[in-house]
Chains A and B, each alone.
Chain A
Amino acid sequence: MPDQVPAVRLTSITKRFPGVVANRDIDLEIQRGEVHALCGENGAGKSTLMKILYGMQRPDEGTIEIDGEKVSFRTPADAIARGIGMVHQHFKLADNLTVLENVILGAEPRKAGRIDFGSAREKIRAMAEQYGMRLDPDTLVEELGVGDRQRVEIIKVLYRGAKVLILDEPTAVLVPQEVDELFGNLRELRAEGLTVLFISHKLDEVLSVADSISVIRRGTTVATRLNPREVTSRRLAELMVGSELPTPELRESTVTEDVELAVKDLVVLTSEGRPVVDGVTLDIRRGEIVGLAGVEGNGQSELIETIMGIRTADSGTIGFAGEDVTGWTTRRRREAGIAYIPEDRHRHGLVLEGSLWENRILGHQTEKPNSRGPWIDRRGARRDTTRIVQEYDVRTPGIEVPIGALSGGNQQKLIVGREMSGEPKVLIAAHPTRGIDVGAQAAIWEHLRRARAAGLAVLLISADLEELIGMSDTLHVILRGRLVAEVDPANVTPEELGSAMTGATVEDAS
């Protein structure tokens, strides 16, 4: 249907934030009835563009056309009125209301001054059937799984008459089967003539579901309307990054015989008594990086939190430098030399309202140079913060600014710098380079390599399989709380590792 008027056309969209251009001359054309994927690195400007299309922000320059007609959105309500709906990555649902109530919330049909639940229920049933979604309007949302909640969000948008659906990284919260189901739903929507704009940086997904792909890099479109049958994921990756990627790799082995961290038969139960970490035994030696591969939610978080003493082990032991530390408090473990780069830096790694130097103290309150006896050593902490800022290239105008004012990548650099300070013996690193630009990523890998050569024992968790394979001396696969396989990082490919992580058997694992 190439001769049609495009459902959405963006022309020369430019959006500036003070000091930086988030979007620059973006041109984008989306045909009616297609699944269009928008790819780009994090921070490339995808979200800003979508916010502009959804009326949350106004472009400084450029025009938006819907069905060939020029529009100007002031608020999301304007966008909804023109048939544009957005499914946010984070669901905005009320848990204690039913699916029906959530869907009609704010758009209640009325009859004789009362809410007309009957007709709304019929409409939702009909829509669910039309688009092939299983959904009972009278279930409470709190009883639904993630995939179902996402369907509720989609129905909610459709109920308001959306013809163009924006899905912001919809697969980030889903497990593989749910992803397949979502893609099935998207194809149904397309068959019904709806247009889907799918934002992602996962190339395999993009290639499997999209009819057409556009790539955005550093605020501008570098490729538009690529045909997924004619483009490889490698080409897409190059377009997204714009250069050769630095490769994570270790040089000669520095692994020694001394076991620094020994986890033995560790079991952690949920409050309902279901094991989330199920009999994990793991040794990390001085100078060794042990990688842990697994789809998120398979017990990695619980394992590292138990090693840090944030959770308690239900059975099994944790040994550190020959001592049994299972009963130690988090502080005692940290003081003894276990450093921690947490998964979620906002919840566990930082106090966003605090300044950089206050965040330098965090987690090392009792250690030099942050304190002297019961007193905080402000001067020492400030001096050391300046050192970290310089060594780790934290881009900040000063160390007194609240860390919440920095970008995520720079926050992460401060955390890495902080945890590598004070000569730790063991480092528990969850996603150490998440959100960091490519240059800084290579620098952090270099810091890790140097610390490893000096005898640091590292437990590395990462969603970036190349990082895991390249930076690990030993690589374990965790699935449903168990270590199911040990693979040789020298010989495994990301695909083999990926199938091992989802539970498929690895034939030639090592």
Chain B
Amino acid sequence: MSDDKRDLPPEDTPAVAKPAETSADEAAETPSVAKATPDAARPDDPDKVPGWQAILRGLGPRGLGLKIGAPVLALLISLVITMIVLRISGADPVSSIQSMVDYGTTSNSIVDILNRATRYYLSAIAVAIGFRMALFNIGVDGQYRLAALLAASLGGAITLPAPFGQMLVIVAAMVIGGAWASIAGLLKVTRGVSEVISTIMLNAIATGIIAYLLNTDRLAADRPGSNSVATPDIPSSGQVGPLNGFLSNIGIDLPGRLYGLLPVAVLIGIVFWVVINRTRFGFDLKISGLSPTAAQASGVSAKRMVVITMVLSGVVAGLIGMPELLGASYNYSLNFPAGLGFTGITVALLGRNHPVGIALAAILFAFLDQSSDILQEVQVPKEIVGVMQGVVVLTVVIVYELVRRWEIRIQQKSVASELAAGHTVAGEAAK
């Protein structure tokens, strides 16, 4: 290999370096034939990925210090902004936040927060699967509600011995969620319909179907003396008990009922991480999100990936309602938690599409929701929590993007300077 280091890293422009007609003295008469492709002939731009795409795909800083430092910084900034907002609204910021923390860390609250966070977590993972390949599954909401309703009525209609009843309901919910989501995927690959539009419309359709089915003439049971319309209860052999018993065995005593299916959420997070980072499928998914053109040239079938990803997202969406259905409500009623699909989008953004980040984001959101109850007691409107959540998401997203760009610039400079100093892999090996 040549030892003559001729590269100028910061502005290497890749086109044919040599003139095409070096041997020609009468070159002026020669037609212009050597056409360098302009697109490839530009210097590499560090901000190649537009900010909004980087945000949605969860691109962020790569260094561990920055990965932790950036969100901490963002949270501090949003805390300051929140306190200013509280101040403006006439409340005492320090005492309001103090009372939120006090209330949010009582053991009763912790159980509620964990339950809430479980739902947010599953929802955000469902959204993140799509985000990872730049697919916007806005339809998680309709997918989980439809799946919960149909799975609930199936579970209420059939009595099976212990593990099979629960498994039947869960599998049914996953199948229904996936099937509902697949409609959007198939529309996209066969008809070119944007999944954003189709999933929003499918949400509306799901709402309509649920309203139609949740009627005593159809799936709902007669409940004399109750205003609520609900599916028949799932028999006790098909329910999942709370996790409290297991926890007290290992010395943690919590009041209330902690969802028995909380470990499923943890498991889904682990599977998500392993699939994305360790499998060929995950690799294809990631590169499809980062560069659809490069993915296609590398042999990934874009259409197949769209459908599979959409279905997987829907399958996980189907799970969102399960902890509540099997562990607390045992039926699908008008009071079943709604809107989780939209919270999931926010939580996935906040968690940077990373399973651990999403877990922290889900807990933070659940904490804010839970502790909003106490604000009224200190004469602060509870809606201020919505403002806090918005501020957190915006600051995290903005700070992450700024840090990411800054890191890319730093990295390019350090690569350039390391090269200038002669530190190359090839060079090290030669020594």
A465 to B23 CA separation, bound complex (whole angstroms): 11
The answer to whether B22 touches A48, judged by C-beta atoms less than 8 angstroms apart, is no
Report the interface size class on chain B. 35 or more
Tell me if A280 is interfacial: C-beta within 8 Å of chain B.
Answer: no
CB distance A405 to B23 under 8 Å? no
Looking at A169, A207, A407, A440, the one whose CB has the most chain B CB atoms below 10 A away is A407
Whether A351 touches B291, Cβ cut-off 8 Å, given contacts A218-B8, A397-B424, A438-B6, is: yes
Interchain Cβ contacts under 8 Å between A and B, 22 examples: A17-B11, A19-B421, A42-B17, A43-B8, A48-B10, A172-B38, A218-B6, A237-B18, A310-B297, A348-B297, A350-B294, A352-B44, A374-B281, A405-B412, A408-B12, A409-B14, A431-B16, A440-B1, A493-B24, A494-B24, A499-B31, A504-B31
Assess A398 versus B425: contact at CB under 8 Å? Given A22-B11, A347-B291: yes
Query: Across chains A and B, which 6 residue pairs bring their CB atoms closest together, nearest first?
Result: A435-B14, A439-B2, A331-B299, A408-B14, A19-B420, A19-B417
Using a CB–CB distance below 8 Å, which chain A residues touch chain B? 17-20, 22, 41-45, 47-48, 89-90, 169, 171-173, 176, 179, 201-205, 207-208, 218-219, 232-234, 236-237, 240-241, 245, 295-297, 308, 310, 329-335, 340, 342-354, 358, 361-366, 371, 374-376, 378, 386, 389-390, 393-399, 401-402, 404-412, 431, 433-443, 462-467, 493-495, 497-499, 501-502, 504
Q: Which of B91-99, B120-128, B282-290, B309-317 contacts A (4 or more CB under 8 A)?
A: B282-290
Bound-complex Cα distance A121 to B23 (A)? 48
Q: Are A204 and B27 in contact (CB under 8 A)?
A: yes
- Expressed in whole angstroms, the minimum distance between the Cβ of A152 and any Cβ of chain B is 17
Contact, CB under 8 Å: B287 / A354:
yes
Q: Which chain A positions have C-beta within 8 A of B59?
A: 353
Q: Is the CB of B297 within 8 A of A202?
A: no
- Chain B positions 406 through 417: 1 when the CB is less than 8 Å from some CB of chain A, otherwise 0: 001001111111
- Give B11-42 as 1s and 0s: 1 = Cβ < 8 Å from A's Cβ atoms: 11111111111111111111111111111111
A179 touches B32 (CB 8 A): yes
Q: Decide if A362 touches B294 in the complex (CB within 8 Å).
A: yes
B19 touches A395 (CB 8 A): no
Contact of B297 with A375 in the complex, beta carbons under 8 Å = no
- Residues of chain B contacted by A354 (CB below 8 angstroms): 287, 290
The answer to whether the Cβ of B223 comes within 8 Å of any Cβ in the partner chain is no
Bound-complex Cα distance A329 to B291 (A):
19
B297 engages A366 (CB within 8 Å): no
B44, B48, B280, B299 — most chain A CB neighbours (10 Å): B299
Which of B18, B28, B278 is in CB contact (< 8 Å) with A204? Answer: B28
Query: Quick one: given A43-B12, A233-B27, A363-B299, are A240 and B19 in contact (CB under 8 Å)?
Result: yes
B218 at the interface (CB under 8 A from A): no
Alpha-carbon distance A407/B412, docked complex (angstroms): 9
Q: A48-B11, A407-B14, A435-B12 are in contact. List 18 more A-B contacts (CB 8 A).
A: A22-B11, A42-B17, A43-B11, A47-B43, A90-B42, A172-B37, A176-B33, A203-B22, A204-B32, A207-B27, A331-B300, A347-B291, A348-B296, A396-B424, A397-B424, A402-B411, A407-B12, A443-B1
Cα–Cα, bound, A176→B418 (Å)? 43
A495 to B4, CA, bound (A): 31
* Residue numbers in A under 8 Å from B4 (CB-CB): 439
Q: Is the CB of A22 within 8 A of B10?
A: yes
Q: Which B residues are in CB contact (< 8 Å) with A176?
A: 31-33
| A347 lies within 8 A of B49 (CB) | no
Q: Which residues of A contact B295 (CB under 8 A)?
A: 351
CB distance from B143 to the nearest CB of A (A): 26
- Minimum CB distance partner of B420 in chain A: A19
Contact B22 A466 (CB under 8 A): yes
Give the CA-CA distance A159 to B251 in the complex, in Å: 79
> Given A19-B416, A90-B38, A361-B283: A437 and B20 within 8 A (CB)?
no
Instruction: Determine if B163 is an interface residue (Cβ-Cβ < 8 Å).
Output: no
Which residue, A169, A433, A465, has most C-beta atoms of chain B within 10 A? A465
Give every chain B residue within 8 A of A407 (Cβ-Cβ): 7-9, 12, 14, 44
List of A residues within 8 angstroms of B418 by Cβ? 19, 397
How far is A393 from B428 in the complex, measured between Cα atoms in Å? 12
In Å, the complex CA distance between A463 and B46 comes to 27
Interface residues of B (CB under 8 A from A): 1-2, 4-44, 46, 48-49, 59, 62, 278-284, 287, 290-291, 293-301, 408, 411-421, 423-426, 429
The interface centre, meaning the residue of B1, B25, B62 with most chain A CB atoms within 10 A of its CB, is B1
B280-A493 in contact (CB<8A): no
A466 to B414, CA, bound (A): 36
Among B16, B408, B413, which residue has its beta carbon within 8 angstroms of that of A464?
B16
Q: Are B21 and A233 in contact (CB under 8 A)?
A: yes
B7–A437 contact, CB under 8 A?
Answer: yes
- Assess A348 versus B293: contact at CB under 8 Å? Given A374-B281, A404-B48: yes
Chain B positions within 8 Å of A465 at CB level:
20-21, 33-34
Closest to B59 in A: A353
Q: Are A241 and B18 in contact (CB-based, < 8 A)?
A: yes
Smallest CB-CB separation from A467: which chain B residue? B16
B278 to chain A, nearest CB (A): 6
Give the chain B neighbours of A234 by CB distance below 8 A: 22-25
Q: Which residues of B contact A295 (CB under 8 A)?
A: 33, 35
Chain B residues with CB below 8 A from A347, complex form: 39, 291, 293-294
Contacts A17-B10, A348-B293, A348-B294 hold; do A434 and B44 have CB atoms under 8 A apart? no
* In the complex with contacts A362-B294, A399-B425, A439-B6, A42-B281 CB distance below 8 A: no
B21 touching A172 by the CB < 8 A rule? no
User: How many whole Å from A230's CB to the nearest CB in chain B?
Assistant: 13
Partner of A45, one of B11, B17, B27, B298: B11
Considering the chains assembled together, what is the distance between the CA atoms of A3 and B287 in angstroms? 60
Minimum distance in angstroms from A496 CB to a CB of chain B:
10
With A344-B40, A345-B40 as known contacts, state yes or no: A171 contacts B32, CB within 8 Å: yes
